[in-house]
């Protein structure tokens, strides 16, 4: 392996880490409560939902990195996939008018946290299958 290959791998790794954490930051802005504070208090429902978010963004990012040789294309596909994850949350929120997701998470409803984690991971797999 040439030194340029090693540099490209390091740059790709850095971009992946930045995109992963940027995605988590955007997700944290979507909730009207402090995710990290809820985790400190032991809110399992929030932990499950955050885990699903992290895993789903990692799935999309991993497939985008694997299928694209350009960092720009990888980033573009990540943004498209991530927009689909955000849309999935808002569509799910809209489709369940008697169940306000963020309120249930704040209350520690683990059933909602588990369901949201599965929705995120399922969407991550579904969207990643479309990445070319």
7-51 confidence digits (pLDDT tens):
888 888 898 899 999 988 988 888 888 889 999 999 999 999 999
Q: Which residues, 6 or more positions from 25, have their beta carbon under 8 angstroms from its beta carbon?
A: none
CB within 8 Å of 54: residues ≥ 6 apart: 20, 24
Chain center to CA of 35? 14
The confidence score (pLDDT) of residue 108 equals 95
Which residue, 24, 44, 27, is CA-closest to 113?
Answer: 44
The interaxial angle of helices 44-67 and 3-30, nearest 10 deg, is 140
pTM, entire model? 0.85
pLDDT at position 116 is 93
Confidence of residue 1 (pLDDT cuts 50, 70, 90): low
């Amino acid at each position: 392996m040439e030194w340029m290959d090693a540099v490209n791998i390091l740059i790709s790794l850095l971009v992946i880490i930045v995109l992963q954490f940027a995605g988590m930051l955007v997700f944290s802005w979507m909730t009207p409560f402090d995710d990290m504070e809820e985790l400190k208090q032991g809110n399992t429902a929030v932990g499950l939902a955050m885990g699903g978010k992290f895993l789903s963004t990692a799935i999309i990012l991993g497939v985008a990195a694997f299928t694209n040789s350009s960092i720009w294309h990888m980033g573009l596909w990540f943004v498209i996939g991530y927009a689909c994850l955000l849309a999935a949350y808002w569509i799910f929120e809209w489709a369940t008018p008697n169940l306000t997701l963020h309120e249930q998470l704040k209350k520690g409803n683990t059933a909602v946290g588990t369901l949201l984690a599965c929705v995120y991971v399922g969407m991550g797999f579904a969207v990643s299958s479309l990445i070319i």
